[in-house]
Amino acid sequence: MPVRTSEANWKGDLKHGQGTVHLGSGAWEGQYNFSSRFESGKGSNPEELLAAAHAGCFSMALSAGLSGAGFTVESIHTAAKVKVELVGAGFEITGIELITEANIPGIDKETFDKIAAATKEGCPVSKALKAVPIRLDAKLV
């Protein structure tokens, strides 16, 4: 299996410095700083990238689980919200919310919920983030 890489460069102190993040695939590069990470400033941040990774992983894993159970997957859309807060003297990721909507013909809500819950526990990014509470809101559309 391949090893995925990304890189970050940072210059300056925490409050006034700035950095760039580069995905190893070359698909994206962006800047980040204190304001974009802990306030509402322009730029990206590690938590946003983590949310993208989790949303993508969950959607693919849910598709695999549903397909493996014999269902046809028409579409899955997942948004991930990663919450970062000041806790004591430092910042922590305190929770992740996955919000997914799926169009799966012929599936009942109970079966869908069961597969979605198993996916939340089993997707590789969820497994890597087990130290953080992960909440799932899964809907059929």
What are the E-state strand segments in the chain? 6-11, 18-23, 29-33, 75-87, 90-103, 134-140
Tens digits of residue pLDDT in 42-51: 999 999 999 9
Q: So what's the pLDDT on residue 6?
A: 95
| pTM over cut 0.85 | yes
pLDDT digits (tens, 9 = 90+) for 52-98: 999 999 999 999 999 999 999 999 999 999 999 999 999 999 999 99
| Residues above pLDDT 90, as percent of the chain | 96
Q: Does the pLDDT of residue 1 top 90, yes or no?
A: no
Mean pLDDT of 112-125: 98
Positive or negative: CA dihedral 78, 137, 113, 132: positive
